[in-house]
Amino acid sequence: MRQIDVDPPLMPGSLGTGPFPRRRRSDELLLCDLMRLAVCQVKAGQWVHEYADRSQVQTFALEMAQAHANLVEELRVLAVHCQLLLLDEAAAQAAEGKSALQELNHAALEQSYLRQHGVVDHESMMKTLEILSQDSSNTAIRNFSLTLQPLVRVFHQSGLRLYSMYSKE
């Protein structure tokens, strides 16, 4: 048997395949990965909280966003305690994740903004997100709109409606 056939599967965080020596991702990169995931969960929870119709869904989404915002702060503390250097992008995301709940509560993506500006379907939602991602001075809003664009495309391509708030009244 070749060595490649008997190697155990790759462990999460490891790079390389076959007989080549495996290199492990540094703790800094793993921490940055965790931070990106936590920040995305904060943004997703906040977005669902804003636009969900059922109060149980809104409550759960807000709790999820708050828990992940706390996780981002704990990851920053862990980085300092272990003397790990966060990459600039991850450090910025950590600060962004910590304040995302406050910033996004009053963001331009609120339901009233969308209705006021005629966002009633996927195309107008995409146009709004593109404008926000290019013109917004708030980095949290800009990054949030960039995160949402692929999701809206998937909804549009699958023929699903986003939420009832996009329907004309």
Type of residue found at 32: C
Per-residue pLDDT, 49: 79
Per-residue pLDDT, 88: 54
**SS3 at position 4:** helix
Q: What is the pTM of this model?
A: 0.40
What span, in angstroms and rounded, lies between the C-alpha atoms of 31 and 74? Answer: 11
Type of residue found at 22: R
Q: Which two tokens stand for residue 56?
A: 């149980």
**SS3 at position 149:** helix
Per-residue pLDDT, 2: 41
Q: 15, 23 in Cβ contact below 8 A?
A: yes
DSSP labels, 62-98: HHHHHHHHHHHHHHHHHHHHTTPPPPHHHHHHHHHHH
**Mean pLDDT, the chain cut into blocks of 10 residues (169 residues total):** 43 44 59 76 81 81 81 79 64 54 44 49 64 67 70 57 40
